[in-house]
Structure 1
Amino acid sequence: MEKYSMVIPKVAGNPTICFRPIRPSDLMILEQLHADVFPIRYESEFFQNVVNAHDIVSWGAVDRSRSDGRSDELIGFVTARIVLAKESEIGDFLSYDSSRSDQTLVYILTLGVVETYRNLGIAASLIGEVIKYASSIQSCLAIYLHVISYNNPAIHLYKKMSFKCVRRLHGFYLINGQHYDSYLFVYYVNGGRSPCSPLELLKVAATYMRSGLRSVAARLRRNEEKMPRWPKCKETRCLITTQSRRNLTTECSECSCV
């Protein structure tokens, strides 16, 4: 296949960025963008599935203010796939009903922006499109993705957008014969949540403490009922049993027992 000759666009002061689905006419530029952005190579089948929307949803960013006749050319992209929650690798990070076969997740496959258009909020807007899409699917509980451990700008972006880093996967990527770690990020939607969120842990701890205190109080009451009564001596503060009160009256003659 002929390689797409990409012209690096010059960014206007205030570019007019719009978002649209990726189409078959975007095939060559999409392949070139992936080759420029990622250190790993994607198979041609992947790109065919993206542009033809075969089990993959996608959004492309374009700069409508370009004056070089390429105002509909991709300058950013995001691709994603719907997966079943019970078959995903993040099942242990979800509180979901395993008996329901319709509960789903959205997995972000790839995300990238042309270098000259970075730091303009385009990547965040593309992720926003995925969040809106996932939120519109009532059966969807979360969005998740992997990011290579040295991609600090991407990690910062996901954290800023409230994605939660839930796991580090050692040696997840193999690039040019070398293994690299990956971080797994999750963003919950439609009431999806972690099975052990910090709030839930606090609630469980509070409930446990309350029940523990009630149990201790009940035991103390039971023990108190079983114990003999100990009347006080006002001045000496000594304690004497009711049963031996008569015998000890003379020994405690200086105090008034009550």
Structure 2
Amino acid sequence: MVNFKAPHRPIISYRPIRPSDLEVLEKIHGDLFPIRYESEFFRNAVNGHDIVCWGAVDRSRPNAQSNELIGFVTARIVSAKESEVEDFISFDLSKPDQTLIYILTLGVVESHRNLGIASSLIHKVIKYASSIPTCSAVYLHVISYNNAAIHLYKKMSFQCVRRLYNFYLINGQHYDSYLFIYYVNGGRSPCSPLELVTLLVTYVKSGYYLMVAKLWKNEDKKISKWPTSKESGYLLPVVQNKRILTAEESTQPNQVCKLHSQLLFGSTN
């Protein structure tokens, strides 16, 4: 396949990748990525074996080239509980078989870049993921120096949730990776910072009201311990009217503090 130019406005359309795309798909991967993929990967991709994929073609190109791939995206359905993003998904207990879509590869030939093709291919994946009731998110890895891809994913509202050090080994050198995630079908992170603050404030308020209620209760008990004089009806002081707090009451502030620590730093058990 030659590195053709687009002399006029291209007419881009999208279609599923099929067996006849095998040679071109493998060639483009070799041109774009420093990582070499096994032949089995490409066979599975074009035949739809455990991999879903879409291709972009330019209908304005002459002859048979009008149906030749100029862009692609490959993805796989994975179990949410067995994925590396399990910690970033809030699981719905009513959906025990929740899944995710993992984007494996995404690429566009140089002559057809900056035409929105990559964004359109990602939208294909997001739309597909949204059509699966059990799917909670789409996620992917991107090498740390690929600033163009990082900018694209952020622009499309993907969230960068983790940096994975030494994730890639290319030509004997390690490179970091960023992990991006896009939630669908009501999927979300287990607890956002705003939710954590709201929860913390709620517990602080409940702890405060609990202590105030106990103080009022203690005062009522103190007053009830003053005997009344039959002659005058006045309250008489009682010797040793000193109140000793129970273990439960004396430790209540500590319990509230411990609960706050668990919310901020995790359980210490």
TM-score bin (small chain): 0.7 to 0.9
Q: Are 1:185 and 2:195 an aligned pair?
A: no
Q: Are 1:73 and 2:68 an aligned pair?
A: yes
Give runs of aligned pairs for residues 53-132 of structure 1, distance below 5 A.
53-67=48-62, 69-97=64-92, 101-132=96-127
The CA distance in 2 between the partners of 1:62 and 1:224, in whole Å, is 81
Q: Which of 150, 153, 169 matches 1:155?
A: 150
Q: Which of 9, 17, 23 matches 2:4?
A: 9
Task: Tell me if structure 1 keeps the 8 A contact 2:95–2:134.
Answer: no
Q: Are 1:145 and 2:125 an aligned pair?
A: no
Task: Tell me if structure 1 keeps the 8 A contact 2:71–2:107.
Answer: yes
The CA distance in 1 between the partners of 2:21 and 2:134, in whole Å, is 31
CA deviation digits over 1:74-108, x for unaligned, max 9? 11000000011111111111111478542111000
CA deviation digits over 1:29-83, x for unaligned, max 9? 1011001110010000000000000010000011112235411111100000001
Task: Tell me if structure 1 keeps the 8 A contact 2:54–2:121.
Answer: yes
Q: Which of 200, 203, 226 matches 2:198?
A: 203
- Specify every segment of 5 or more residues in structure 1 that has no aligned partner in the other structure, as ranges: 1-5, 229-241, 245-258
Task: Tell me if structure 1 keeps the 8 A contact 2:166–2:176.
Answer: yes
Match for 1:114: what amino acid?
A: V
The CA distance in 1 between the partners of 2:187 and 2:193, in whole Å, is 14
User: Would the alpha carbon gap of residues 224 and 117 (structure 1) be closer, same or farther in structure 2, given more than 3 Å must change?
Assistant: farther
The CA distance in 1 between the partners of 2:109 and 2:24, in whole Å, is 11
Q: Are 1:213 and 2:224 an aligned pair?
A: no
SS in 1 for 2:65: coil
User: Would the alpha carbon gap of residues 128 and 12 (structure 1) be closer, same or farther in structure 2, given more than 3 Å must change?
Assistant: farther
User: Would the alpha carbon gap of residues 203 and 13 (structure 1) be closer, same or farther in structure 2, given more than 3 Å must change?
Assistant: farther
Deviation at 1:224, TM superposition (A): 5.2
Deviation at 1:203, TM superposition (A): 2.9
Question: Which residue pairs with 2:41 in the alignment?
Answer: 46
CA deviation digits over 1:200-226, x for unaligned, max 9? 223312322331332243244345546
The CA distance in 2 between the partners of 1:92 and 1:14, in whole Å, is 45
Give the paired residue count: 226
Match for 1:91: what amino acid?
A: E
The CA distance in 2 between the partners of 1:67 and 1:108, in whole Å, is 31
Task: Tell me if structure 2 keeps the 8 A contact 1:84–1:101.
Answer: no
The CA distance in 2 between the partners of 1:220 and 1:118, in whole Å, is 70
Task: Tell me if structure 2 keeps the 8 A contact 1:86–1:101.
Answer: no
Match for 2:29: what amino acid?
A: H
The CA distance in 2 between the partners of 1:199 and 1:60, in whole Å, is 39
Question: Which residue pairs with 1:135 in the alignment?
Answer: 130
The CA distance in 1 between the partners of 2:82 and 2:207, in whole Å, is 39
The CA distance in 2 between the partners of 1:142 and 1:209, in whole Å, is 33
The range that moved more, 116-125 or 73-82, is 116-125
Question: What TM-score does the superposition give when structure 1 sets the normalisation length?
Answer: 0.81
